[in-house]
Amino acid sequence: MMKWLAWGIFALSAFGLLYQLTVNRKFGQAAARFGLQLVFGAFILYMLNITNAYTHFTLPINFATLGTVGLLGLPGVALLVGLEWVIL
């Protein structure tokens, strides 16, 4: 039962997103910018993790880090690096 409810919520939110993309032009531009920042940030996080052998520094690539990078862009990566240094 919960599986069908989750799929129903997913489908409803996907249709809502498509509706907003077709009706509201500014929403589409914001979603495209978020997507570009998300891809760029994921690439930066991946490159940061590849250089782990030299820097001994790693950041996980998960929903929280990608969401931060998607919203803030390159300053989001700097924020995550700073938080990692402060916490550890």
> Would you kindly state where each structural domain of the chain is located, as residue ranges?
25-87
Predicted local confidence at residue 23, as pLDDT: 81
Amino acid at 80: L
**Digit-coded pLDDT (tens) for 3-57:** 888 888 888 888 887 787 778 778 778 888 888 888 888 888 888 889 888 888 8
User: Any residues with CB less than 8 A from the CB of 17 and at least 6 apart, and which?
Assistant: 31
Predicted local confidence at residue 30, as pLDDT: 81
> Count of CB atoms within 10 A of residue 74's CB?
12
88 vs 71, higher pLDDT: 71
Predicted local confidence at residue 28, as pLDDT: 76
**Digit-coded pLDDT (tens) for 61-80:** 888 888 888 888 888 888 88
Angle between helices 74-87 and 25-50 (to 10 degrees): 40
Contact 68, 82 (CB under 8 A): no
